[in-house]
Amino acid sequence: MAARSTPLRHAPPAGPGPAARRARRWPKVSRALLFAAPGLVIYTAFVLVPLITNVANSFTDLNTFRPSTHWVGLANYRALLDDADFHQALHNTVVLTLIVTILPNVAGLGIAMLLDRSGWFTNALRSVFFVPTVLSAVVVSVVWQKILTDDGLFNRALHAVGVGSPPGWLSDPDLALYSIAFIMSWQVLGFCVVVYLAGLQSIPAELHESAVIDGAGALASFRHVTWPLLAPAVTINTVMLMITGFKAYDYIQVITNGGPGSGTTSTIAFSIVQTAFTGNHVGYAAAMATVMFVGIALLSAGALTVLQRREVTL
């Protein structure tokens, strides 16, 4: 009698071999690659390749008009250490970034709390605050330049109310950087308001009611309920604003062209363009760009790490 073979109780079901499985998975992988391809191609072409090229250029003396380019090692980076113009640009960038990170964050939160209610007027105001955000930075710069020149609208208004010699908002080297920081803050304020409004509206009303029942006043409710739960919004706003401040170029180019005078409002991004395309020192500008890239990356990573630590998940 032939023994009838019985399949093992726990044996895996019979199926295709590894080669067949790979063959079956391949269409899925190729389809996924197909969908990712446009993004990958664009990212590689417009981010990765320029980034790598820039870092490579930073170790050379590449000049727009010089036929031969030489490897100079770290010479460009060493020169940056002694470059007073770069130090001034770095200082200006840090000041600008600090103001543009703090001012719209604080003002945006305050305005968002005022607008966190329903009604047609509040809805209209939300749109009003957001309008500057959708405008081009160049348009905003031109408009504010007209307002803030020495004989512009703002100083004429100050004259009208009796201010004899109003400040030169854009012509005074000690004031111009702060004027630009204000203009940038004004434009990004709407973005902060929207992010904070979204954060505020995601906080369950019951939490505030519980706090009130527990005897919390407005300040305590803000401190113990609103502020902790707004942490994700704070993270988004802070990181976005830091990046905006650090890469400021268009406002400077249009409003002051780095002046008044020598580099008083020059930022790193502005110096890079000037150095590369006016001075023709592309290799040196590439070193500046690499420092700027590393700076933004470190600052963003640091801010994200610190801010995400205090985020609360409901």
Q: Which residues bind another protein (CB under 8 A)?
A: 27, 30-31, 34, 37, 41, 64-67, 85, 145, 148-152, 168-173, 253-264, 274-282
Cβ 65 to another protein shortest distance, Å: 4
User: 239 vs 255, which CB is nearer to another protein?
Assistant: 255
Strands of 228-290, DSSP E: none
User: 133 vs 264, which CB is nearer to another protein?
Assistant: 264
Cβ 265 to another protein shortest distance, Å: 11
User: 32 vs 52, which CB is nearer to another protein?
Assistant: 32
**Secondary structure (3-state) at 172:** coil
Handedness of CA 243, 245, 251, 253 (dihedral sign): negative
User: 65 vs 120, which CB is nearer to another protein?
Assistant: 65
Q: What is the CA radius of gyration of the chain?
A: 28
Cβ 267 to another protein shortest distance, Å: 15
5, 9, 154, 184 from 2: Cα distances, Å: 9, 20, 105, 89
- How far, in Å, CA of 64 to CA of 57, rounded? 12
**Which amino acid, one-letter code, is at 170?**
L
CA torsion angle 173 179 180 183 (round to 10): -170
- Structure tokens, 42: 């664009």
Cβ 28 to another protein shortest distance, Å: 12
**Secondary structure (3-state) at 82:** coil
Cβ 279 to another protein shortest distance, Å: 3
User: 167 vs 295, which CB is nearer to another protein?
Assistant: 167
